C-alpha cells in the first residue's frame, strides 16, 4: 500500500504508518501540477488544508482508495466527486476540539481585561493603570454559545467551571451537558448573554447567523468571539455594531475572506483582537491529528 503525504504531518504518525508496513512518501510541499503527475502511483493520500483535491486531480488518481484530511473541514476536497469514483474521504473531527475551546476561553479573558491592548501600551513604555482598570470578571457573567457540538460543548464546560452561566443554542442536539442551559430560541441567547461565542460550521443555514438584526437584539456592551468559521458573522454588521458601541469588543480567529482582506477592516478597531486561524494550532492537536490519520490509514491498508 502506497501513501503520499501532501501537507505537513506529525513525524511520529509517519513512523507509525511505516511501522505498520505502509510505504509512505512525504511530499509535503508538492505542487498541484506535480501531484497530478504522480497521484496514479498511490492508494492513499493525506492532506490538511493546503492541498486541494478537485475533479482534475481525482480523475488522475486511478488507484486511489482514500483521501485522509487531517483536521475538521473538508471544504478543500470535492467529496461528492471523490466518492462517486469510489474514493473514501475521511477526516479527524475531534482531534483539535480542545485546542479551539481553549483559544476561545483565552479570548474571553483577553476581551474582559483587554490583555492584548494593555500589553501593547506597556511595550510602548506607558503605564496606563487607570485606563485599564475597568475590566470585568468572567465569573457571574452569561456566556451564550451558538452551536453546541464538540467544540461548543467543551467551551461550555470550561466556562461553567469558571463560574459563568452558560446558555446554548443548537436545534440539532437533543440533550446538552448539564452545565449548559439549552435555549430553544436564538433570540434568548442574544438578549441574555454578556459574551457570545459561535461554534457552527459555515452553511446556508448558518450564513450570517450573527447579522445586523442579531446585534440589535443583544445587550449593549456585549462581547463576540468567533473561533468557528468565517461567514457565520456578518463582518460589515459587526463593524457597525462596534462603531456604535453596541458591541464592546470582539475576538476573531476566522474571517469571511482569509486570503485577501484577512479581517483588516475589523482589526482596525482597537477593541478587536484576533489571530490568523490558529484555533487548531497547538502541538497537542497536531500530534492527535497525526495519530488519528495514522490509525485511519492503517485501518484502510489492512482491509
Checking DSSP bridges between strand 180-182 and strand 195-198, what pairing results, if any?
unpaired
Least distance from ligand NAD to the Cβ atom of residue 60, Å = 28
Asked if residue 51 binds ligand NAD (CB under 6 A), the reply is no
Asked if residue 169 binds ligand NAD (CB under 6 A), the reply is yes
Those residues whose C-beta lies under 8 Å from the C-beta of residue 275, and which sit 6 or more positions away, are: 103, 252, 253
Catalytic residue, candidates 69, 229, 235, 292:
229
23 is known as an active-site residue: no
The site map against ligand NAD for 117-146 (x = CB under 6 A) is: -----------------------------x
Nearest CA to 238 out of 253, 219, 223 is that of 223
Distances from the Cα of 81 to the Cα of 85, 103, 219, angstroms: 7, 34, 45
Distances from the Cα of 78 to the Cα of 52, 75, 243, angstroms: 8, 7, 39
Q: List the grid coordinates of 248.
A: 464592546
Nearest-angstrom CA–CA distance, 132 and 134: 6
43 is known as an active-site residue: no
Asked if residue 149 binds ligand NAD (CB under 6 A), the reply is yes
Taking CB under 6 A as the binding criterion, the range among 18-26, 83-91, 108-116, 150-158 that sits at the site for ligand NAD is 150-158
Asked if residue 98 binds ligand NAD (CB under 6 A), the reply is no
Residue 271 in 3-state DSSP? coil
Taking CB under 6 A as the binding criterion, the range among 21-29, 49-57, 193-201, 241-249 that sits at the site for ligand NAD is 193-201
The site map against ligand NAD for 196-225 (x = CB under 6 A) is: ---xxx---xx-------------------
Cβ-contact 224, 233 below 8 angstroms: yes
Total number of residues shown for the chain: 303
Least distance from ligand NAD to the Cβ atom of residue 127, Å = 34
Catalytic residue, candidates 83, 128, 258, 284:
258
Asked if residue 100 binds ligand NAD (CB under 6 A), the reply is yes
Least distance from ligand NAD to the Cβ atom of residue 260, Å = 19
Output the DSSP codes for 3-34: EEE-S---HHHHHHHHHTT-EEEE-TT--HHH
Cβ-contact 228, 201 below 8 angstroms: yes
Asked if residue 172 binds ligand NAD (CB under 6 A), the reply is yes
Distances from the Cα of 30 to the Cα of 84, 106, 125, 166, angstroms: 25, 35, 46, 45
DSSP E strands, 98-203: 142-146, 165-169, 180-182, 195-198
Least distance from ligand NAD to the Cβ atom of residue 213, Å = 15
Asked if residue 255 binds ligand NAD (CB under 6 A), the reply is no
Asked if residue 289 binds ligand NAD (CB under 6 A), the reply is no
Least distance from ligand NAD to the Cβ atom of residue 42, Å = 27
* Residues that are catalytic: 229, 258, 277
Using CB under 6 A as the criterion, which residues of the chain lie in contact with ligand NAD when the complex forms? 72-73, 93, 96-97, 100, 146-152, 169-173, 199-201, 205-206, 227-229, 253-254, 277, 279-280
Amino acid at each position: 500500500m502506497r501513501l503520499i503525504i501532501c501537507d505537513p504531518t506529525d513525524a511520529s504518525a509517519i513512523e507509525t504508518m511505516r511501522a505498520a508496513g505502509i510505504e509512505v512518501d512525504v511530499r509535503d510541499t508538492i505542487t498541484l501540477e506535480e501531484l497530478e503527475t504522480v497521484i496514479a502511483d498511490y492508494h492513499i493520500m493525506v492532506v490538511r488544508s493546503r492541498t486541494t483535491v478537485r475533479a482534475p486531480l481525482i480523475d488522475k488518481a486511478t488507484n486511489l482508495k482514500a483521501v485522509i484530511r487531517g483536521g475538521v473541514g473538508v471544504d478543500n476536497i470535492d467529496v461528492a466527486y471523490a466518492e462517486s469514483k469510489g474514493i473514501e474521504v475521511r477526516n479527524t473531527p475531534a482531534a483539535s476540539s480542545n485546542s479551539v475551546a481553549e483559544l476561545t476561553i483565552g479570548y474571553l479573558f483577553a476581551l474582559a481585561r483587554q490583555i492584548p491592548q494593555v500589553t501593547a501600551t506597556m511595550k510602548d513604555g506607558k503605564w496606563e493603570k487607570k485606563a485599564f482598570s475597568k475590566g470585568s470578571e468572567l465569573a457571574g457573567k452569561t456566556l451564550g454559545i451558538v452551536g453546541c457540538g464538540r467544540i461548543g460543548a467543551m467551551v461550555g464546560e470550561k466556562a461553567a467551571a469558571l463560574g459563568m452561566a452558560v446558555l446554548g443554542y443548537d436545534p440539532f442536539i437533543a440533550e446538552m451537558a448539564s452545565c449548559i442551559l439549552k435555549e430553544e430560541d436564538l433570540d434568548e441567547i442574544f438578549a441574555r448573554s454578556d459574551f457570545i461565542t459561535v461554534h457552527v460550521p459555515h452553511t446556508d443555514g448558518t450564513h450570517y447567523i450573527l447579522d445586523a438584526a442579531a446585534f440589535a437584539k443583544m445587550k449593549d456592551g456585549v462581547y463576540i468571539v468567533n473561533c468557528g468559521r468565517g461567514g457565520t458573522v456578518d463582518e460589515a454588521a459587526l463593524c457597525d455594531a462596534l462603531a456604535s458601541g453596541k458591541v464592546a469588543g470582539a475576538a476573531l480567529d476566522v474571517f469571511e475572506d482569509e486570503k485577501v482582506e484577512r479581517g483588516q477592516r475589523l482589526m482596525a478597531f482597537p477593541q478587536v483582537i484576533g489571530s490568523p486561524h490558529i484555533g487548531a494550532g497547538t502541538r497537542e492537536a497536531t500530534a492527535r491529528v497525526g495519530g488519528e490519520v495514522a490509525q485511519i490509514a492503517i485501518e484502510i491498508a489492512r482491509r
